[in-house]
Structure 1
Amino acid sequence: MAKKRVCFLYIAQHHQVWHSLSVAVAMARGWPDLKVEISATTQELLDYVSGLLAELGGAPITLVLLPPSWMRRPGGGAPPKAPMLIANAMRLARYDAVITPERTTALLRKLGVRHPILVYTQHGAGDREGPFEPRLRVFDLVMAAGPKQRDRMVGEGWVKPRNCAMVGYPKFDLVDALPQRAAPRFEKPGPVVLYNPHFHPELSSWPKWGWRVLEAFAASDRHNLIFSPHIRLFETASSDDRAAFERFAEHPRIHVDLGGPAAADMTYTRAADLYLGDVSSQVYEFLRAPKPCLFLNASGADWRGDPSFHHWLFGPVLDRVDDLSAAVDRAFATHADFRPIQAEGIAETFDITDEPSSLRAARAIAQRLEARP
């Protein structure tokens, strides 16, 4: 009998690889009756995956570059997702399972692709309401990092209980298995703040306050700053937009990364002493070890009681940034007040057990494949 073929599909930015690659490795090593392939839309992304696999010691996985080449952007970056799915629908239809960390792949069903089971691994475990949406209903299996995510998806009717697998957070497995990247070095010791604005134009603090935040840290000598926004915030930025950050290139207390490898592998969330941000799910990765947080309400959101802003209970929330350095100092000083709710938030966000999350996820997929007629 021919092996069943499963495809781990990457059609977006490199940060999404971290949310399912460890699952692909666990499946390739532990289920020899399955043929595991990884398909990506750019050679750069395949090379990135190949490098991570080599660091992990390898696995019996086939890497596939999806056509057509003319759809790839000359300057790099992910080509448009929907057109790539349309171009590759028949190719993907030949797999027994297509596993993806993003929701656009639900389009395959509208394109008539019926044979493979569709699996959504998620790419974060945050609170923003955007990921809780109708396309989840299209997937045959949806992963949940913990009870918070599972209960909301099921409770709001996006996922049926039988189609939801609570598996923990496979990204942690990958982070823990790889050598830790060196953290940024600053001229003088001091608390390190990670400023991590989201890309959402209406919820992000960047459009309204971003430059004021950077200038405040540049003018202060009390804190070191890592500026690492969500990878999508500057993905399509012009060279002029990027050049505007050159004034901080030699600053002794500021490190700027607009989307490099360290922005995806938890280098900065592990190195920082305080998280400064808005609605990014990276706050939960930062809080794997409880530490101070400070949130920026640049949109004037009425956030109290809204589950999409639940993480804003983990630290002070600012409605203005007139004296940011003092606010950072207060966040450090009052962290003890927030530690209990931070611990509670992490417990409900990540269902961590003695068994690796990647193995739990791989088993859930394999069992779903076995159960199909």
Structure 2
Amino acid sequence: MAEKRVCFLYIAQHHQVWHSLSVAVAMARTWPGLKVEIAATTQELLDYVSGLLEELGGAPIVLVLLPPSWLRRLSGGGAPPKAAMLVVNALRLAGYDAVITPERTTALLRRLGVRHPMLVYTQHGAGDREGPFEPRLRVFDLVMAAGPKQRDRMVGEGWVKPENCAMVGYPKFDLVDALPRRAAPRFERPGPVVLYNPHFHAELSSWPKWGRRVLDVFAANDRYNLIFSPHIRLFETASIEERAAFKSFAEHPRIHVDLGGPAAADMTYTRAADLYLGDVSSQVYEFLRAPKPCLFLNASGADWRGDPSFHHWLFGPVLDTIETLGAAVDQAFATHDEYRQIQLKGIAETFDVTDEPSSMRAARAIVERLERRA
């Protein structure tokens, strides 16, 4: 294949890097005819990528900081607005043969008149929430699926054509397995560890209605240790004062608080925890890579039974009230055997596992599509 330039694009938070970086590494190491670049909208994110690449032993990848600096200054140090960065960089991105992204905002490039690059969506999770199953998927030339559950829903609902969908497994697992394992939180006393992982979705998240009470329950409980690690986006724009409100919990000997640090993205907490407590985050599937107890919080009063967007709520008890949380945690541990088989079935439907690493399967799917276009 004649030399091609491909861009792995990161315009959001650092957790999305985990869903495609291993694909970039596999592509750069395996196909020397490809020029692989990684473009990010902040130096902090680019440094984060650089650090991961160094831990992986390096790869022939060029790192690019996207302009303009004034847009970064306007964002106050956080991630600049995604749409604005795409508008400003549309001409630059049009020069690639493929733009590979873990988020759907990049579909905007087509509306901006960018026609040449193949657009590839890698996903950034393998959950059930209906939000990611939406019309922008139709814009991409190639959409990855972690397993048959995701593929069948995207194709069945008409968001993706079968020929534009590649089932590749879950590349994040490759990256997690290849890197040194981060130390788990240490608590003053031993005991089962519960991970509370509320989502950022304003209506479906348990945090707005019940979150503080969840923390209070565990602060008063001497049986369990708690990791409070919400979805990274939940407190992304929180003020110093809002973050300071968690000080008493962060200083509690049986509670570990992380509102969005590196360990919140690299499966440190899902691997360390003994029970998952949450609502609609796709991280439950990463937690269930090995079957373990789950407990779900229905703070929104959702009519969830039979709804594919809540399929993961079959993996453990579901609470419709916060009043019985303490006893419900005990019950979730005691009754886990009742949910083990459906958890195993859910994982098999969610992650397609073969002898070939997922990152290589994804890289090959992109390369083969580029060859056909050529």
CA distance in 2, matches of 1:238, 1:352: 42
Which residue of 2 is the match for residue 153 of structure 1? 154
Which residue of 1 is the match for residue 27 of structure 2? 27
Which residue of 2 is the match for residue 72 of structure 1? 72
Which residue of 2 is the match for residue 188 of structure 1? 189
Q: Which aligned pairs between 1:1-373 and structure 2 lie closer than 5 A?
A: 3-73=3-73, 75-373=76-374
Deviation at 1:323, TM superposition (A): 2.6
Note the alpha carbon deviations across 1:285-336, whole angstroms, 9 max, x for none.
Answer: 0000000000000000000000000000000000011131211000000000
Note the alpha carbon deviations across 1:143-188, whole angstroms, 9 max, x for none.
Answer: 0000000000000000000000000000000000000000000011
CA distance in 2, matches of 1:249, 1:47: 27
TM-score (norm 2): 0.99
CA distance in 2, matches of 1:130, 1:78: 22
Q: Secondary structure at the match of 1:72?
A: helix
CA distance in 2, matches of 1:57, 1:202: 42
The 8 Å contact of residues 13 and 77 in structure 1, kept in 2 or not, is answered as: no
Q: How many residues align?
A: 373
CA distance in 2, matches of 1:81, 1:281: 22
The 8 Å contact of residues 126 and 280 in structure 1, kept in 2 or not, is answered as: yes
Structure 1 ranges of 4+ moved more than 3 A: none
Deviation at 1:135, TM superposition (A): 0.2
TM-score (norm 1): 0.99
Deviation at 1:2, TM superposition (A): 5.9
Counterpart code for 2:12? A
Which stretch shows the higher mean deviation, 137-146 or 243-252? 243-252
CA distance in 2, matches of 1:166, 1:143: 6
The 8 Å contact of residues 94 and 115 in structure 1, kept in 2 or not, is answered as: yes
Deviation at 1:248, TM superposition (A): 1.5
CA distance in 2, matches of 1:316, 1:275: 11
CA distance in 2, matches of 1:78, 1:165: 30
Matched-pair identity in %: 87
CA distance in 1, matches of 2:98, 2:34: 10
The 8 Å contact of residues 140 and 163 in structure 1, kept in 2 or not, is answered as: yes
Note the alpha carbon deviations across 1:47-81, whole angstroms, 9 max, x for none.
Answer: 00000000000000000000000111464221100
CA distance in 2, matches of 1:157, 1:370: 26
Q: Secondary structure at the match of 2:116?
A: coil
Q: Secondary structure at the match of 1:23?
A: helix
Counterpart code for 1:351? D
CA distance in 2, matches of 1:92, 1:347: 37
Note the alpha carbon deviations across 1:94-137, whole angstroms, 9 max, x for none.
Answer: 00000000000000000000000000000000000000000000
Counterpart code for 2:293? P
Note the alpha carbon deviations across 1:249-286, whole angstroms, 9 max, x for none.
Answer: 22110000000000000000000000000000000000
CA distance in 2, matches of 1:17, 1:78: 14
Counterpart code for 2:116? H
RMSD in angstroms over aligned alpha carbons? 0.8
CA distance in 2, matches of 1:226, 1:77: 25
Q: Secondary structure at the match of 2:339?
A: helix
Structure 1 spans left out of the alignment, 5+ residues: none
CA distance in 2, matches of 1:124, 1:5: 26
CA distance in 1, matches of 2:324, 2:317: 14
Deviation at 1:239, TM superposition (A): 1.0
CA distance in 2, matches of 1:99, 1:25: 13
